[in-house]
Amino acid sequence: MRTKIFYLLIVILVLVFAPRLGTLVADNLSSFFISIDPDQRFMWGIIHHIVQAIIPILVVLIWKKEIFKKWGLSWGDYKVGWQWVFWFSLVWIVVYTGLTVYNITFSINPEVYYDVTNFRNLSGELLFRGAIVGPSEEILFRAFPISVLVFASFNNKYNIFNQEINQAGIISAVFFALAHIRVNITTFEIYHFNIIQIITAVGFGLMYAIIFQKTKSIFYPMFIHSISDFIPVLSLFVTKLL
C-alpha cells in the first residue's frame, strides 16, 4: 500500500510541476523567437509543451529506466491502432465539416485568440497543434502516469462502454481533465473552470488510455490527439476565410 501511495505521489508531482516549469521556461525564452513569431502566437506554446514532455522523460531516466518498457515506444498492435486512427479521423472530419458549413450558412464568426488568415500564425498554429501538442501531452498524461501506476500494480480492470480499461488508465484520464482547470497553487484559487471542457477531457482521456492499453503503443493516441487539435484549426481557417 505504501508503495502504491509513493508511486501515485510521484505521478502527481510530475503532472503538477512539469506544466508549470514549461510555463516558466516559455515565459523566458519565447521572446528570443520574435523573428519566427513576431505576433507571439505559437512559439510560447511550442516551448511550453516541449519542456513539459522532457520532464517525465528525465524523471524516468534518473529514477527507474525499466518503466520505459511500458511506454509503448513501438507500433504494437498496428491493425487495431490504425483502425482507431482511421475511424476517429473520419468522424472528426465529418463533425467539423458540418460545423464549418453551419457557421458559414448562418454567418457565425467564432472568436479565436489569433488571426487565422495570417499565414505565419496559421502555419505556426498548425505545426503546434498537429506535431507538438499530441506527442507532448500523451507522454505527460498517458505514457508516464499509466506506466508508473501499472508498475505499482494499479491494474484492476473495468469496463467502460464495452471497452476494458485498468485503474491506471482511469486515473490518467482524471489527471488529464484536472489539467484543464486553471488553479493558482499558492492561493488555491480557481481562475478557469469550464464544465463542458472538463467532461470532454475525461472522455478523450479515457479513449486515449483505452487505445494505449489495447495497442500497447503510445503512437496511436499521439496521432489521434494531434488530429483532434489539427482539424478544428483548419475548420476555423475555412470559416474565417469564407
The three grid cell numbers given for residue 143, joined into one nine-digit string:
505514457
Three-class DSSP category at 166: strand
The answer, as to whether pTM is greater than 0.85, is yes
Query: What's residue 52's pLDDT?
Result: 97
Number of domains within the chain: 1
Strands 189-192 and 182-184, bridge-based pairing: antiparallel
Domain that holds residue 226: 2-241
Question: Over the stretch 173-193, which tens digit does the pLDDT of each residue have?
Answer: 999 999 888 766 555 566 567
Q: CA–CA separation, 174 vs 140, rounded Å?
A: 13
Closest listed residue to residue 207, CA positions, set 154, 199, 8: 199
* All residues at 6 or more sequence positions from 202 whose CB lies less than 8 Å from its CB, including other chains: 173, 174, 176, 177
* All residues at 6 or more sequence positions from 35 whose CB lies less than 8 Å from its CB, including other chains: none
Q: CA–CA separation, 143 vs 169, rounded Å?
A: 10
Query: What's residue 184's pLDDT?
Result: 61
Series of mean pLDDT values for 10-residue runs along the chain (242 residues):
90 96 96 92 96 97 93 95 98 95 87 77 94 98 97 92 93 93 63 81 96 97 97 88 76
Q: CA–CA separation, 108 vs 122, rounded Å?
A: 20
